[in-house]
Amino acid sequence: MKKFIWNLFTRFVDLISHTHTFHAHFSLLFTIGATLTATLLTYLYHLISPSGGTNIGLIYILMIMLISYHTDKYRYGILAAIISVFCINYLYTIPYFEFNFTMTGYPITFLVMYVISILTSATTFHMKDQARRIQEDEKLIMEAEKEKLRANLLRAVSHDLRTPLTSMIGASSSYLENEHTLDANSKKELVQQIYEDANWLLHMVENLLSVTRITDNGVNVLKKSPEAVEEILFDAITTMRKRYPEFQVHATIPKDFLVAPMDPLLIKQVILNLLENSWFHADSKKPVECYLNSDEEQVFIHVRDYGNGIPEDKIEHIFDAMPSAPSSASDTRKGMGIGLSICKAIIRAHSGTIQVQPHLDGTEFYFTLPKEDMHFE
């Protein structure tokens, strides 16, 4: 029996000693350190409470779990299990400080302790391996989602850039070919169309540039500072009125002064996107409504229109970066897909949420910004 156990022990030591990787050396040193620490703790506990044999076994089992979790492969946990059985036999079994494998019932005790230790080591290692696999699967899913977003964004960009460019080429071509036959109103309409399409392209470029402010190689690089939410809202409304003099809006501001940490340029871009979508896609003469409110944890920014609404089959994917069909015949060049997908990316980078919900007379978009702790760069 002694010879079998000793041969088994020396085989494990020999197997470990021939491994030259960093992880193997770390695992071996960790195993030795944890075993020595557990032995010291159990010995001190035995001096204080000589009758606490059960607790000594539990301490070694916890040590085996710790080693199995922080080392590679089964062998270190199994080695720790063998060492723990020898330590219990040598230090805590009468006669003390002697190996005694001949007393009545000891082979069964040895076997039970060894099996418990092996099962503990295997179970702990399996749990760690499962956690690693889950983490790898989640990483693969995230990468797949990023790849899908890139593909959708590319399709949306090509769609939303191509349509206004085609319109501009058509309008300028008509103007040049019929310059001497067109009346003043027709010329003005063509120039106005080119101007609106150029503005839309500028807005598209601003949207794409805003994405570069969110992440750098997948890492959130937002530099947030506490900002007055109503000031950002009015800044966006002022920009809208400069771009589109016919734009009408009704804003409602609460009495409380609302402050939230944000990147002000990005949040302004989100509000601009929502205002433009509400104004151009609603196909309504009623003003767009904006209002703010808050609770103890977050600020809410609402943009509501009174128009055609969004079909139910499109609401679920409204924030995906997909080219969208025009909502009306007069709106053939302005898609919603890329703008709203960028809104979602910006708000998620701020740890907020963005939602859309229909109401009886149109559609309402709203997003939240958390009133998080004021620790800023």
User: Does residue 110 belong to any structural domain of this protein?
Assistant: no
Q: Read off the pLDDT of residues 32-74 as tens digits, 9 standing for 90 and up.
A: 888 888 888 888 877 777 766 667 777 777 777 777 777 766 6
Q: Looking at the 3D structure of the chain, how many domains does it have?
A: 2
Are 354 and 365 a contacting pair, CB within 8 Å? Answer: yes
- Residue 229 belongs to what domain range? 140-370
Q: Which pLDDT score is estimated for 230?
A: 94
Nearest to 42 by CA among 96, 2, 4, 6: 96
Residues of the chain with pLDDT under 70: 1-25, 51-54, 72-74, 100-110, 113-114, 117, 120-121, 145-146, 148-160, 207, 210-221, 321-338, 372-377
Helix (H, G, I), strand (E, B) or coil at 253: coil
Provide the pLDDT for residue 311.
78
Does the model's pTM come out above 0.75? no
303: three-class secondary structure by DSSP: strand
**What local confidence, expressed as pLDDT, does residue 159 receive?**
65
Q: Which of 103, 129, 162 is the last residue of a domain?
A: 103
Does some domain include residue 122? Answer: no
Q: Are residues 289 and 188 in the same domain?
A: yes
Q: 168-191: buried (b, 16+ CB within 10 Å) or exposed (e) per residue?
A: beebeebbeeeeeeeeeeeeeebe
Same domain, 99 and 145: no
The predicted structure's pLDDT at residue 354: 94
CATH for 318: 3.30.565.10
What Å distances lie between residue 102 and 96, 107, 245, CA to CA? 14, 8, 99
Going from the C-alpha of 277 to that of each of 157, 169, 237, 288, 310, the distances in angstroms are: 16, 24, 13, 10, 11
Are 201 and 336 contacting, i.e. CB atoms less than 8 angstroms apart?
no
Tens digits of residue pLDDT in 297-347:
999 999 999 887 787 777 777 887 554 444 443 444 455 456 788 888 889
Q: What is the pLDDT of residue 149?
A: 63
What pLDDT score was predicted for residue 262?
92
Question: Alpha helices, DSSP H only, in the chain?
Answer: 2-17, 22-48, 53-70, 75-92, 106-177, 184-212, 229-243, 264-282, 312-315, 337-349
Confidence (pLDDT) at 327: 44
**Residue 128 falls inside a structural domain:** no
Torsions phi, psi of 94, nearest 5? Answer: -70, 135
| 276 occurs within a structural domain | yes
Mean pLDDT of the chain: 76
Cβ partners under 8 Å of residue 41, min gap 6: 59
Is residue 215 domain-shared with residue 319, that is, in the same domain?
Answer: yes
- My answer on whether 247 and 297 are in the same domain is yes
Tokens for 128?
A: 């760690």
